[in-house]
Amino acid sequence: MADYQQDDRIVMSLDAGGTNFVFTAMQANREVVESITLPSNANDLEACLGTIRKGFTQVREQAEGDPVAISFAFPGPSDFPRGIIGDLMNLPGFQGGVPLGPMLEREFGIPVFINNDGDLFAYGESIAGLLPSVNSLLKEAGNPRRYKVLFGITLGTGFGGGIVRDNALFLGDNSNDGEIWLLRNKVDPSTGAEETASIRGVRRAYARNTGTPMEDAPSPKDIYDIALGEQAGDQEAAKVAFRELGEVVGDALANAITLLDGLIVIGGGLAGAHSLFLPTVIEEMNSTLITPEGDVYPRLDIKVHNLEDEQDRKRFLRNTATKVRIPGTDEFVDYDPEKRTGVGLSKLGTSRAVAVGAYAYALHALDQ
């Protein structure tokens, strides 16, 4: 992967929310214009498209140089490689397939790249966030192990995911990779994991355990403060709400990492409450299964470590390789019998990771 921190090319980008669109431009992995916020006009397709044209036009006028591409995250379902947006819940004006990418390419005369925000979050963290940070710590610790696979999840309004392997973003054959939100919910198997692993999930759990109507439940930030004893409320119910989130996230990640085998990075608005749910995530992933005969065995073939806990991080980083002799010879090779992975928080912050991912994705595609 090229070092885009030194690249002077400019890429325009967009943070697409249901209420507002925030437009900016990136150069050398950093914003180089004042961001522009415009109402999304979510219910009116023509007005929404007009907002997108206006936002990128204003960014181009601010930029000190000609942008070489447009690259941004947009909600799905979508055919991301072709830039076609499907039916969206938070932007209901988009229905029936809207070729947003081709429209913008004709409007601005430069390539347009659209991806899922979970994908770009993982990509940004693989380039300049958790993945290089962990590999640097391993090098400092004298451990020859290096990681190439990163699974990124975001916990907030929803429960999103993205997969990176060998500096390449995995998109799947249907632009539908990393959809961890659709895994079965451990605590409520009739629903998807997102119903617990999200802002509404934390509020719903607190409401259920306090007998409060859902519409009257406090925000996750307030529930977090209640759990810490810094605000009045039912402290135990608040702790349970975050433990439930941790149990569901841990169960989903255990299923995912069984197939992926790599590091895990967590971002999103709920990540700030990690002290209340991350230990449960790790406990769930390191839990056991039982055979019909009653034999107990680890749920995963790998040991999962909490990279936010200093002592557990040290255990993760230590070099446990030993020398084993090649049969019939006097030669030895290194062998590390301890398979392991780690779960840590975003090093860049979610929004910046998405922006870095969008920037790098565009430049890497152009370079290819």
| 136 CB neighbour count, 10 Å cutoff | 10
Q: Which of 49, 20, 46, 48 is nearest to 35 (CA)?
A: 20
Provide the pLDDT for residue 224: 97
- The answer to whether residue 34 scores a pLDDT higher than 90 is yes
The two structure tokens encoding residue 306 = 């909490």
> Mean pLDDT throughout 121-137?
96
Q: Are 276 and 162 in contact (CB under 8 A)?
A: no
> Mean pLDDT throughout 10-19?
89
Q: pTM value? A: 0.93
> Mean pLDDT throughout 249-258?
97
- The answer to whether residue 1 scores a pLDDT higher than 70 is no
pLDDT tens column, 302-314: 999 999 999 999 9
- 75 band by pLDDT with thresholds 50, 70 and 90: confident
CB within 8 A of 354, min separation 6: which ones? 15, 73, 117, 120, 121, 124
- The answer to whether residue 19 scores a pLDDT higher than 90 is no
Domains of the chain listed by start with CATH number: 4-115 (3.30.420.40), 130-347 (3.30.420.40)
CB within 8 A of 344, min separation 6: which ones? 130, 134, 263, 264, 265, 266, 306, 307, 308
Provide the pLDDT for residue 76: 80
The two structure tokens encoding residue 257 = 């990492």
Provide the pLDDT for residue 338: 94
Mean residue pLDDT of the chain comes to 95
> Mean pLDDT throughout 76-86?
91
Please give the residue that has the higher pLDDT: either 225 or 3. Answer: 225
User: Cα–Cα distances in Å, from 119 out to 11, 19, 133, 238?
Assistant: 18, 22, 19, 31
Q: Are 215 and 193 in contact (CB under 8 A)?
A: no
The two structure tokens encoding residue 82 = 């072709």
CB within 8 A of 223, min separation 6: which ones? 202, 203, 206, 217, 233, 238, 241, 242
Run of H or E residues at 13: strand 10-16
Query: What is the Cα–Cα distance from 312 to 307, expressed in whole angstroms?
Result: 7
